[in-house]
């Protein structure tokens, strides 16, 4: 990677970081375990690695936005995460803000900034 690529990579990471929380809350309206969430996000084009995602899930659970349950019916017990009532409210507020930000940014990038 040359230096310009590194600079772009750094800014891209910042650009993606905030959207990962939104993506997780959105997907977890249906319960999923960590690895299945990872593949769902990946299929959806949201790039995040396991070392980022798993701590994020624990952080969101600690904040009360996700709840978790062990599913022990399968041969291999798995921890399923889903959005709590608070998580639904937060998702709704973040989505509203994101849509506003999105429209503002689209206007700026289109050059019509007044």
Spell out, one character per residue from 40 to 79, where the chain touches a copy of itself: x when CB under 8 A holds, - when not.
Answer: x--xxxx----------------xxx--------------
Per-residue tokens: 14: 């910042």
List Cα–Cα distances, 98 to 30, 58, 104, in angstroms. Answer: 21, 23, 10
Number of residues that bind a copy of itself (CB under 8 A): 46
Calpha distance 43→62 (Å, rounded): 27
Residues contributing to the site for a copy of itself (CB under 8 A): 4, 7-8, 11-12, 14-19, 21-23, 26-27, 29, 40, 43-46, 63-65, 86, 89-90, 93-95, 97-98, 100-109, 111, 113-114
């Amino acid at each position: 990677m040359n230096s310009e690529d590194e600079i772009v990579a750094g800014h891209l990471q910042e650009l993606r970081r905030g959207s990962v929380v939104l993506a997780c809350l959105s997907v977890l309206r249906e319960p999923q375990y960590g690895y299945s969430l990872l593949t769902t996000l990946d299929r959806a084009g949201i790039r995040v690695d396991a070392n980022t995602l798993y701590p994020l899930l624990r952080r969101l659970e600690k904040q009360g936005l996700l709840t978790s349950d062990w599913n022990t019916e399968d041969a291999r017990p798995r921890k399923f995460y889903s959005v709590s009532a608070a998580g639904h409210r937060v998702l709704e507020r973040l989505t509203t803000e994101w849509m506003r930000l999105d429209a503002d940014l689209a206007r700026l990038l289109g050059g019509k900034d007044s």
